[in-house]
Amino acid sequence: MRFDVFTLFPQMFQGPLTESIIKRAVERGIIQIHIHNIRDWATDKHKTTDDYPYGGGPGMVMKPEPIFLAVEEVLGKSPEERGDTPIILMSASGRRFEQKLAEKLSQKKRLALICGHYEGVDERVREHLATMELSIGDYVLSGGELPAMVVIDAVARLVPGVIDEESKKEESFTSGLLEYPQYTRPAEFRDMKVPDILLSGNHQAIASWRLEQALKRTQQVRPDLAAKWVQAHRAKQKEEDC
């Protein structure tokens, strides 16, 4: 899978995307990450990529020309050339990025991410270039670089071969619940003991305990998710009983 990132600050991506799981996936050729400096497509000698907003107001707005030129050169000028590659604008006003969308995007061969900055980007980028607008939460950041890294990490780890397939099945949000508590050696640390059930070797009992704990944790932290899970679980049982 290939990621193309369009940004004014390419150096921001050097640390997070060159360590751990992502680094190994790149080294093994499972994913490719290409960072493109939008300034390289600026049309004046000063490499200007932002300007004052029409109508007045604070801050600066990213100009459309460099962004359009960058995306068109890398992905192609026409929709036919770009194929089904999502062109994602990272923006606080976008759709909230969630696990199910990460799973859907991980099935693509290529993703393009545009990182907004300053007061945002010219509306023509949103209306006529981007095919999707994403936010990672209900808060405002300095730019789209950190959100783009979050999307890359969340999507890349779902690409087959990046991590163990079994690990994905029991992660938070994948099942609809937050993940159950995890323990490892030693069995006792500073008088804090691992629950006896996990040492019992009874896999059926352990599975039941984990589900119970996952539901409990979700009800405490994300009651909205717990309610959805309970509703879906009851509907499934009712369907099986018919």
Contacting residues for 122 by C-beta, under 8 A, at least 6 apart:
61, 62, 63, 64, 67
Q: Are residues 188 and 149 in the same domain?
A: no
pLDDT, mean of residues 187-194: 95
Comparing 2 with 241, the larger pLDDT belongs to: 2
Instruction: Indicate the average pLDDT of the chain.
Output: 93
The CATH number covering residue 129 comes to 3.40.1280.10
Residue ending a domain, choose from 98, 125, 156: 156
pLDDT of residue 171: 64
Whether 141 has a binding-site annotation, put simply, is yes
- Asked whether residue 161 is marked as a ligand-binding residue, the answer is no
Residues 151 and 175 in one domain: no
- 83 and 175 share a domain? no
**Which pLDDT band holds residue 200 (cuts at 50, 70, 90)?**
very high
Whether residue 99 sits in one domain with residue 50? yes
Same domain, 37 and 123: yes
61-78 core/surface letters (b: 16 or more CB in 10 A; e: else) = bbbbbbbbbbbeeebeee
Using the 8-state DSSP alphabet, how is residue 10 labeled?
A: G
Q: What is the mean pLDDT of residues 72-95?
A: 95
Residues 118/92, Cβ–Cβ less than 8 Å: no
Q: Is residue 107 one of the residues assigned to a domain?
A: yes
Both 93 and 204 in a single domain? no
| Last residue in a domain, options 156, 189, 217 | 156
Residue 33 has pLDDT above 70, yes or no: yes
CA 164 from centroid of its chain's CA atoms: 18
pLDDT value, residue 169: 65
Residue 161 within a domain: no
Q: Domain ends where: 126, 156, 186?
A: 156
For the four alpha carbons of 113, 118, 124 and 126, in that order, the dihedral sign comes to positive
Q: How many structural domains comprise the chain?
A: 2
Is 90 exceeded by the pLDDT of residue 208? yes
Helix (H) or strand (E) segment spanning residue 33: strand 32-37
- The enclosing domain of 214 has a CATH number of 1.10.1270.20
User: Is residue 191 scored above 90 in pLDDT?
Assistant: yes
Structure tokens at 228: 């959805």
Range of the domain at 232: 171-241
Do 133 and 189 lie in one domain? The reply is no
- For tokens 């290939």, what's the residue? 2
> Is 186 found in the same domain as 142?
no
The C-alpha torsion from 137 through 16 and 75 to 42, rounded to 10°, is 90
In a domain, 164, yes or no: no
Are the C-beta atoms of 2 and 144 separated by less than 8 Å?
Answer: no
120 is in an annotated binding site: no
Whether 39 maps to a domain, the answer reads yes
Residue 137 counted as an annotated binding residue: yes
118 annotated ligand-binding residue = no
The reply, when asked if residue 121 is annotated as ligand binding, is no
Paired tokens of 131: 């095919």
Q: How far is CA 227 from CA 171, 220, 224, 240, in A?
A: 18, 11, 5, 20
Q: Are residues 147 and 185 in the same domain?
A: no
Answer yes or no: is pLDDT of 97 > 80: yes
Other Cβ atoms less than 10 A from the Cβ of 33: the count is 17
Q: What is the pLDDT of residue 174?
A: 73
Per-residue confidence (pLDDT) for residue 172, from 0 to 100 = 63
User: Does 120 share its domain with 7?
Assistant: yes
Distances (CA, A) of 3 to 114, 174, 181, 217: 11, 23, 33, 34
166 confidence band (pLDDT: 50, 70, 90): low
Instruction: Consult the annotation and say whether 136 binds a ligand.
Output: yes
| pLDDT mean over 95-122 | 95
